[in-house]
C-alpha cells in the first residue's frame, strides 16, 4: 500500500472534493461549529486530501503556534495510516508533507492585507506557490464583506483553486441565512460554494452539508464523524 491507496481510502472522499481540484474555477469553502468541536480537524483532512493528490497547500493558522498546527497533521496522518501496511511509510509521509507550508499570525496582527502581502512575497520569490489555502481562525465578526470579496479576488489572481475557512458559531446567536448558515457568516454565505457545519448530537458528531456545489454529495445530507478521531465515517 502506498500514497495512491491512501487517496482511495481517505474518508474525506465521501465529499468528492477532488472534483473541485480538477476544475478551473476557484471555490471557497467554510467549516462552522461552536468553539472546540472539530473545525481544525476537518480543515486538516481537507488539506491532506489535496496534498495526497500532489497539490501544494498553505495552512494559515491564526492564534495558534506552528507546532500546534503540525501536531494536527501528524495526528491525522497517524490515524489515516494506522493498521495499514505501507511500504517506506516514512518516505511516503515526507513526500506528502512536502506539499504543505504553515504560516502563523497572532490574532491581533492578522489582516487580509497582511496575508496577501506575505503570500505575494513567497510566490514572487519562487519559495512556494499553493493551490489550496486553509485559513483557520478567521474572525468573521471583525471582517467585512468587502474584505472577503477582495481576498477572493486576490486568491484567484494567485491561481488558488480552493480556499477554506473556519468560523465559530454561538448557541445564543439565532441569526441564520435563508440557506441555513448561522451567524456570523449568515450575511456572506453567498460567497461560499461549500458550507459544512459540525453538530454534536448526544453521543454522535454530525457533519451537515449545507452547501456543496459540484460535490459527490448533495446539499442537505448529513455525514457522521467518529467522535474519537473526527474523521468522516465511511458508510
CA 189-190-196 angle, to 5 degrees, is 45
d(Cα 8, Cα 20) in Å, to the nearest integer? 16
Give the domain ranges of the chain. Answer: 3-225
pLDDT reported for residue 36: 79
Phi/psi zone of residue 137: left (φ > 0), alpha (ψ -120 to 50 degrees), beta? left
Residue 38: pLDDT above 90? no
For residue 232, CA distances in Å to 80, 89, 204, 206 come to 11, 23, 12, 9
**3-state SS class at 106:** coil
d(Cα 215, Cα 82) in Å, to the nearest integer? 27
Chain-centre distance of CA 40, in angstroms?
Answer: 7
pTM of the model: 0.91
Per-position DSSP letters for 168-205, written without gaps between them = E--TT---B-TTSPBTTSTTTGGG-SEEEEEEEETTEE
pLDDT tens across 45-101, in order?
Answer: 999 988 988 899 999 999 999 999 999 999 998 888 887 777 788 888 899 999 999
d(Cα 120, Cα 123) in Å, to the nearest integer? 5
Give me the CATH topology for the region 3-225: Rossmann fold (3.40.50)
pLDDT tens across 171-222, in order?
Answer: 889 999 998 999 999 999 999 999 999 998 888 898 988 988 766 666 778 8
CA 17-55-46 angle, to 5 degrees, is 40
DSSP bridge partners of 168: 33
**3-state SS class at 80:** helix
C-alpha cell, 218: 448533495
Phi/psi zone of residue 165: left (φ > 0), alpha (ψ -120 to 50 degrees), beta? beta
Amino acid at each position: 500500500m502506498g500514497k495512491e491507496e491512501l487517496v482511495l481510502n481517505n474518508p474525506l472522499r465521501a465529499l468528492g472534493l477532488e472534483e473541485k481540484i480538477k476544475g478551473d474555477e476557484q471555490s471557497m469553502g467554510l467549516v462552522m461549529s461552536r468553539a472546540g468541536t472539530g473545525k481544525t480537524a476537518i480543515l486538516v483532512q481537507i488539506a491532506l486530501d489535496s496534498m495526497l493528490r500532489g497539490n501544494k497547500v498553505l495552512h494559515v493558522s491564526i492564534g495558534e503556534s506552528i507546532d500546534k498546527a503540525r501536531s494536527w497533521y501528524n495526528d491525522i496522518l497517524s490515524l489515516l495510516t494506522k493498521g495499514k501496511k505501507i511500504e517506506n511509510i516514512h518516505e511516503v509521509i515526507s513526500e506528502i508533507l512536502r506539499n504543505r507550508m504553515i504560516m502563523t499570525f497572532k490574532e491581533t496582527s492578522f489582516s487580509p492585507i497582511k496575508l496577501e502581502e506575505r503570500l505575494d512575497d513567497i510566490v514572487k520569490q519562487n519559495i512556494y506557490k499553493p493551490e489550496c489555502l486553509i485559513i483557520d481562525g478567521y474572525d468573521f465578526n471583525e471582517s467585512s464583506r468587502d474584505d472577503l470579496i477582495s481576498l477572493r479576488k486576490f486568491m484567484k489572481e494567485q491561481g488558488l483553486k480552493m480556499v477554506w475557512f473556519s468560523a465559530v458559531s454561538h448557541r445564543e446567536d439565532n441569526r441564520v441565512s435563508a440557506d441555513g448558515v448561522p451567524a456570523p457568516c449568515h450575511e456572506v454565505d453567498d460567497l461560499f460554494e461549500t458550507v459544512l457545519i459540525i453538530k454534536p448530537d448526544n453521543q454522535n458528531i454530525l457533519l451537515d452539508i449545507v452547501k456543496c456545489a459540484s460535490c459527490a454529495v448533495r446539499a442537505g445530507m448529513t455525514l457522521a464523524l467518529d467522535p474519537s478521531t473526527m474523521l468522516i465515517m465511511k458508510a
